Structure 1
């Protein structure tokens, strides 16, 4: 097996020629295990039994690699009118954290091997008109993560995780939509929980066009109005069933009064803030 940072002698020979015949290819490996190939060549290419589609409209920014520890910089632009890259799939999170491999091949001699340019993972994806822009995070991006905990007035645990220890089954309920005002504003008039009970929680659809899709809840009012943090790929219909889980704003008061879980609070609510410390 040829290492990622090496090329075959044949490919090196082709690169040294005055006139070259190279195309850029992108291989996406989704979390589901599905692999999708794209190329900027004007015809589809078959490489290792994977079809690299030419109609994707993929365009990369300049591929920049740093010798230091600064994160590499790369963005991928693509069109949404391709049958493989659909707007609703991007909104649904199908491509979230997908692994991407970018390389060059000689389209006149595909057996000569690959020149690897970049490997990373999809980060933030934005959609504008008929285009999407995906940030590609390289291996050095992991070095930006905080190691250890920082003092904070708010809880550092994720609601329901091994540090929080709250039993989410006690705060998960079922229901069905009675009205959908838009792709991110839903109504269930049968909900009776207090306002903000589901804020920062999640909702997962069990039936309908959005079956299997989960979204974070931005706000909830006692009238049964549920506003999502990001829109669903399809507008729900009345009668679509769902499962909804309460959220936590990570304050000590909420942890104590709403969930009776103060013993597992992972914050320091009684440490004076910077205003107190600056007072003489």
Structure 2
């Protein structure tokens, strides 16, 4: 049962209240930010809460039990507080948000209403909307491993063990065709498709996921990105790009020679095999589906 501080409880019993909401954001990089829907900045619990951000929240209902509730918070981008590039870079992903109710006439009268995590964030027209999920949503997340044909490790991590230094190329941007296609130099030693589904790291900062890689006859290469770049990419910018992996057993064996560390289950029959029937063309002797 939640206990309301005596001073705040007395204020709420009055005929007129001066109540506002404050959000304290704890980013995973250690930065702490404060925002309020009041029309002036507040100092609450030793933290500054800024009013210039234009924050507003949706209605929310508290539920008993362990059901995962969610609310929404909206605001405008501010170069001094929240930048669109920060949201695009994911610095707010998974951040914890503490929601306070505060008597703005007496900021020492406050109470914490809930502790949430930032979920899905959408951006449009200079504004953003962020989903605030209760911590109970973690109970809905899959636990343990999922059995599937494809590998569930990340290329180069402790389970995969591939040495990425041998599968990395370096180059220079020659031409920018929109925000999702680059013409680059320096990758002439790699066949087409080698860096498909790989990761492009710009020397100026930022990571981009490559969708396709095509080697041209003149030695240049076309790199197509999964998503358009949020930041401008300048001609002449230096980058490194790491080979991609489609998580298939054949790729792990042929491209990386790493089949002994494959973290999938390639011999698990798929639905096409489960629904098939015995015929005279295929051999059903219990041998592996994939050699």
- Alignment match of 1:120 (pick from 96, 116, 121): 116
C-alpha displacement of 1:109: 0.5
Q: Which residue in the other structure is 2:203 paired with?
A: 206
1:268 maps to which of 261, 265, 268 = 265
Per-residue CA deviation, residues 211-247 of structure 1 (Å, 9 max, x unaligned), is 2x22222332224222333343321111111222112
Is 1:89–1:233's contact at 8 Å kept on the other side of the alignment? no
* Native 8 Å contact 1:63 1:117 kept in 2: no
The CA RMSD over aligned residues, in Å, is: 2.0
* Contact 1:220-1:227 within 8 A present in 2 as well: yes
Whether the 8 Å contact between 1:43 and 1:54 is mirrored in structure 2 is yes
User: Aligned residue for 2:154?
Assistant: 158
Structure 1 residue 220 corresponds to structure 2 residue 213: yes
Q: After the TM superposition, which of the residue ranges 239-248 and 254-263 deviates more from structure 2?
A: 239-248
1:39 aligns with 2:32: no
Bigger Rg, structure 1 or 2: 2
- Within 5 A, what are the aligned runs for 1:71-220? 71-81=68-78, 83-112=80-109, 114-192=110-188, 193-207=190-204, 211=205, 213-220=206-213
Q: How far off is 1:41 after superposition?
A: 0.5
Contact 2:72 2:129 in 1 (8 A): yes
User: Which residue does 2:27 correspond to in 1?
Assistant: 30
2:284 paired residue number: none
Task: Report the CA distance shift for 1:232/1:84 in structure 2 as closer, same or farther (over 3 A).
Answer: farther
> Helix, strand or coil: the match of 1:217?
strand
Q: 1:171 to 1:55 in 2, by over 3 A?
A: same
Contact 2:94 2:118 in 1 (8 A): yes
Structure 1 residue 106: Cα displacement? 0.3
The answer to whether the 8 A contact 1:91-1:231 is kept is no
Native 8 Å contact 2:169 2:187 kept in 1: no
Give the deviation of 1:5 after TM superposition: 4.7
- Kept in 2: contact 1:91–1:232 (CA 8 A): no
Question: Structure 1 regions of 5+ residues with no counterpart?
Answer: none
Q: Is the 8 A contact 2:160 2:263 kept in 1?
A: yes
Residue 280 of structure 2 aligns with which residue? Answer: none
C-alpha displacement of 1:262 = 0.8
Could you tell me which runs of 5 or more consecutive residues in structure 2 were left unpaired when the two chains were aligned.
278-291
Q: Could you tell me how far apart the structure 1 residues matched to 2:117 and 2:68 are? A: 12
Q: 1:120 to 1:148 in 2, by over 3 A?
A: same
CA distance in 2 between counterparts of 1:244 and 1:141 reads 35
Contact 1:171 1:246 in 2 (8 A): yes
Calculate the TM-score normalised by the size of structure 1. 0.89
Give the Cα–Cα distance (whole angstroms) in 2 for the partners of residues 218 and 133 of structure 1. 28
Shift of 1:248: 0.8
